[in-house]
Amino acid sequence: MAEIINSDEVFREKLENLSDFEFNTKVAGVFDDMVSRSVPFYDEIQRMTSELAGNYAQSGTNVYDLGCSTGTTMLLMDKTVREGIKFVGIDDSEEMIIKCREKLENFILNRDIELLVADLTKKVPVENASVVVMVLVLQFIRPINRLEIMKKIYNGMVKNGVFILIEKILTEEKSFNREYIGHYYDFKRRNNYSELEISQKREALENVLIPYKTSENINMLQEAGFSEVEVFFRWYNFTGIIAKKL
């Protein structure tokens, strides 16, 4: 069954009372279009994530997608990870989990996938994990909670397991930040977002999406216990990091 992808028009009209961005029913319904038009090389990032997951997933362990949204990452990993390895998708948005379940039902999968609604700031239900991925998720978690979550993820992983982190970032040198953001907004314009849509979403995200520098993310992962940390993707203010537990 072909999946119908609805067009993102969340910020198309002028909103008089602009509230903070949230992953509600309206966003969940257009999320796949929104993220593909808002994240540079999104398809390639997903492909790389699934390839790396296939490299490191171990028989008899679990693979976790934390902040799984509509399940795109798990669908791709299902093709690269050998059968017999359990997938668990977790999101704190019930609307996203509902959309994810509906989406997965359109595909023939190589395994059962468990879906959970959970707030990672309260509980990190990761255990016996050889692969844990967070694709554009940590940036939405309050900074004060991030290190503790990383430590709990690390503690729930097996030896030689990997954590894959995709994030929007700040530049190391402030002088480059404005230029990179300018190029990012050009990218959104090329994907048919209007000036109004760009400005309204920027304002809605202002107190919700709080990016770190790449160095801050790496230091945090090392402090959590990960021994080997490597950047595997970079486009202006987006990055992909893989961290291994030895």
Which residues are known binding-site members for S-adenosyl-L-methionine?
A: 42, 67-69, 119-120, 202
Q: How far apart are the first and last CA of the chain?
A: 42
3-state DSSP call for residue 230? strand
The two tokens of residue 131 are: 């692969």
CB neighbour class for 88 (10 Å; exposed up to 12, middle 13-18, buried from 19): buried
User: What is the DSSP code string of 62-100?
Assistant: EEEEET-TTSHHHHHHHHHSPTT-EEEEEES-HHHHHHH
Check: CB of residue 67 under 8 Å from CB of residue 93: no
The two tokens of residue 238 are: 């987006």
**Please, where are the H alpha helices in 206-241?**
214-224
Between CA 51 and CA 32 the distance in angstroms is 20
Strand partners, 213: 170
Between CA 176 and CA 192 the distance in angstroms is 25
Residue 190 carries which side chain, given as an amino acid letter? R
Check: CB of residue 126 under 8 Å from CB of residue 152: yes
Between CA 128 and CA 118 the distance in angstroms is 18
Residues at the annotated binding site?
42, 67-69, 119-120, 202
